[in-house]
Structure 1
């Protein structure tokens, strides 16, 4: 298997060859993969490193803004949207960096405009209007809103051929992490993600617990009481201020 450094090196050589030309779909997935592998460390983002050289980020955002996605398969569209969301979140942070939290930026999710495949929208529009339309609750564990309360950001690009495996992997990672799902006696404290998007996981506590246990290495007992802990909006910075 190729090492991480070698993969990044090959991707960078590819970028030097194609960088001056319009990016195509395959190059987008490859270059976004190189971007995340370079700038993500154990789920946190190296914002300072990105700020020092934004060229690749800007090129990826340019592709996202103008991509032709109508001919893409459903899997390819969802992979595209997930990467687009995470890239635009990072782009917003870099605009204002150094900053201590995404919520310190006015209208971060509901007012600041982004462009996705020719359409102008907000991050909330992208999440609720495009991504949630696929009706796959696992997306809540791969969309990362630049906060420590979010699931960890993956150090790879979501791709059409690997998407189902990647969604499974990241969902399992989150739901087995003691800082994301906190057990206290007969009670489990959940991320407020499960409160905000409750309908995506099931209307009742039993349905929610069933979803969680689908991905748990050690399933929670059926009598487990569920509650929520306060979301941590601190920036997910690999080198915090």
Structure 2
């Protein structure tokens, strides 16, 4: 009985430590984004000159444990971990004009996160898109380029995540993500919608249907959809 009590006690202490690590990660990530992001642009030069805060957060992230069954914590963690790792990748190659100027930026460079050694592509395609059918991920995962939806100056937190996903999707589809010519019934979208067409046309829905879920001014009638080139310049301040 005493042995069982010790095991339970140690397990509870372990879970408490994991929860504290996750809370600390979110708090420090929130402060980091607030201090280094403005109008969707990142202060890479400032971060490069003093990397202590970023490295501290990523060290915490290394020891965090998140489970898919705790979907909200899981999604919030990996979205922030992705965005922070992108910043780390840019800073490690600073100065750089584009993430694409650095070989293997998305598919070869690895990061130690939540007990995994993992690439940016693995986070996006295996841990998030591969586990959840949610096209809104595309509006919160920021790849370090101007063509991405803007990075916000706060962390994605479990208790606000769904609202944040909705807000960022609405902002993008009512903003620079689309170029609409109502007279000619034409709309140009970011190439993200071309690259991930299957994400925006699930369950028999067209891309226009998806857009209209979030547009204030609906695309009424038969619109012709095309795509404008992606801007891969680094999203620096």
TM interval, shorter chain, is: 0.7 to 0.9
> Distance in 1 between the 2:28 and 2:116 partners?
22
Q: 1:99 aligns with which of 73, 96, 101?
A: 96
* SS of residue matched to 2:25: helix
> Distance in 2 between the 1:182 and 1:66 partners?
43
Q: Over residues 21-71 of structure 1, what are the superposed CA-to-partner deviations in whole Å (9 max), with x where a residue is unaligned? A: x96211111110010011001011111111121111001111222211139
Equivalent residue for 2:11?
none
Is the Cα–Cα contact under 8 Å of residues 181 and 188 in structure 1 kept in the other structure?
Answer: yes
Matches within 5 A, 1:115-194: 115-132=112-129, 133-177=131-175, 179-184=176-181, 185-194=184-193
> Distance in 2 between the 1:199 and 1:71 partners?
22
Is the Cα–Cα contact under 8 Å of residues 21 and 63 in structure 2 kept in the other structure?
Answer: no
Residues 1:197 and 2:196 aligned together:
yes
Structure 1, gaps ≥5 residues long: 1-21
Question: Are the structure 2 counterparts of residues 135 and 71 from structure 1 closer, same or farther at C-alpha, using a change threshold of 3 Å?
Answer: closer
RMSD of Structure 2 on Structure 1 (CA): 1.8
- How much does 1:82 deviate? 0.1
Structure 1 moving runs of 4+ over 4 Å: 203-206
- More displaced 10-residue stretch of structure 1: 143-152 or 116-125: 116-125
Question: Are the structure 2 counterparts of residues 110 and 69 from structure 1 closer, same or farther at C-alpha, using a change threshold of 3 Å?
Answer: same
- How much does 1:207 deviate? 1.5
Equivalent residue for 2:81?
84
* SS of residue matched to 1:182: strand
- How much does 1:122 deviate? 1.0
Is the Cα–Cα contact under 8 Å of residues 147 and 235 in structure 1 kept in the other structure?
Answer: yes
> Distance in 2 between the 1:40 and 1:193 partners?
22
> Distance in 1 between the 2:172 and 2:115 partners?
33
> Distance in 2 between the 1:65 and 1:130 partners?
16
Residues 1:229 and 2:228 aligned together:
yes
- More displaced 10-residue stretch of structure 1: 223-232 or 195-204: 195-204
* SS of residue matched to 1:143: coil
> Distance in 2 between the 1:212 and 1:104 partners?
32
> Distance in 2 between the 1:85 and 1:117 partners?
12
TM-score (norm 2): 0.87
> Distance in 2 between the 1:146 and 1:204 partners?
31
